[in-house]
């Protein structure tokens, strides 16, 4: 798997994490802060890697990567937080033409899926490639074209919209259905996340007991 030369990956860690009771980025999971899973799995694909966070002081364990220029920490563009405002912050902060957004609480973030989404966008000339499951869109495991999406997202925020996908009907979207997602990442699990300590503990237990297999190796 090679880099596109023009992809920013944004790992979003700026949520309030009310149900978790603490930052999802720093909550321990399998012996390390949860955010490391996203960094380790996605950094090899990125031409630019950004973490959006409102607590950079709590991410000091990433200082070496910051100083080496491998990642960049960015705070929210808006004082009031929200899903759509987080999308704007991420796309606005990127310097590359294509921007992949991934939530930091996803247990198995997949660079295979992001690569497939990026390829589909480039082939079809669309503005976004977004998984769509039976539960709806998954905007935080998707890829966006910065030049066309940024002004639309900004307009939606300024109009008072709050949902992350509120603007999808105003751009050209390549939808990744369950079949397309499975083809890109046959091991599945791309959208498993943890919102509470109980959900996180259950995911950790399933991995440790072999109920869910860890994804250490990714496609070449």
The single residue listed with the structure tokens 């297999």 is 213
Residue 61: predicted pLDDT: 94
Phi and psi at 185, nearest 5°, equal: -135, 85
**Per-residue model confidence (pLDDT) at position 210:** 87
| Cβ count within 10 A of residue 32 | 12
pLDDT tens digits, 196-211: 888 889 999 999 998 8
What band does 161 get if pLDDT is binned at 50, 70 and 90? Answer: very high
Is residue 55 very low, low, confident or very high in pLDDT (cuts 50, 70, 90)? confident
What are the beta bridge partners of residue 7? 98
Q: Tell me the domain boundaries of the chain.
A: 7-208
Q: Give 22's pLDDT tier (boundaries 50, 70, 90).
A: low
Element (H, E) at 174: strand 173-176
pLDDT score for 1: 43
Fold (CATH) for 7-208? Spore Coat Polysaccharide Biosynthesis Protein SpsA; Chain A (3.90.550)
Q: What is the mean pLDDT of residues 126-144?
A: 95
For the record, the structure tokens of 199 come out as 């959900």
Q: Work out the angle at residue 162's Cα, subtended by the Cα atoms of residues 157 and 165, and round it to the nearest 5 degrees.
A: 95
Tokens of 96: 């590359």
pTM of the model: 0.92
Cβ within 8 Å of residue 42, ≥6 positions away: 9, 11, 49, 100, 102, 109, 111, 114
Question: How far is the C-alpha of 11 from the C-alpha of 9, rounded, in Å?
Answer: 7
């Amino acid at each position: 798997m090679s880099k596109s030369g023009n992809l920013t990956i944004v790992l979003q860690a700026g949520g309030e994490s009310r149900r978790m009771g603490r930052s999802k980025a720093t909550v321990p999971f399998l012996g390390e802060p949860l955010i490391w899973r996203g960094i380790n799995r996605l950094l090899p694909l990125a031409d630019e890697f950004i973490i959006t966070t409102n607590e950079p002081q709590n991410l000091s364990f990433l200082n070496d990567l910051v100083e080496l220029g491998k990642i960049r920490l960015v705070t929210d563009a808006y004082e009031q937080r929200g899903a759509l405002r987080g999308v704007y912050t991420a796309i606005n902060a990127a310097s590359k033409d294509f921007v992949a957004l991934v939530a930091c609480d996803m247990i198995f973030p997949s660079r295979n899926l992001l690569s497939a989404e990026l390829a589909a966008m480039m082939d079809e000339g669309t503005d976004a490639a977004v998984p769509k499951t039976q539960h709806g869109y998954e905007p935080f495991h998707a890829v966006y074209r910065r030049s066309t999406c940024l002004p639309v997202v900004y307009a939606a925020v300024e109009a008072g919209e709050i949902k992350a996908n509120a603007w999808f009907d105003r751009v050209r979207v390549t939808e990744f259905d369950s079949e397309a997602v499975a083809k890109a990442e046959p091991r599945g699990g791309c959208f498993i996340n943890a919102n509470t300590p109980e959900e996180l503990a259950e995911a950790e237990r399933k991995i440790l007991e072999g109920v869910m297999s860890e994804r250490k190796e990714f496609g070449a």
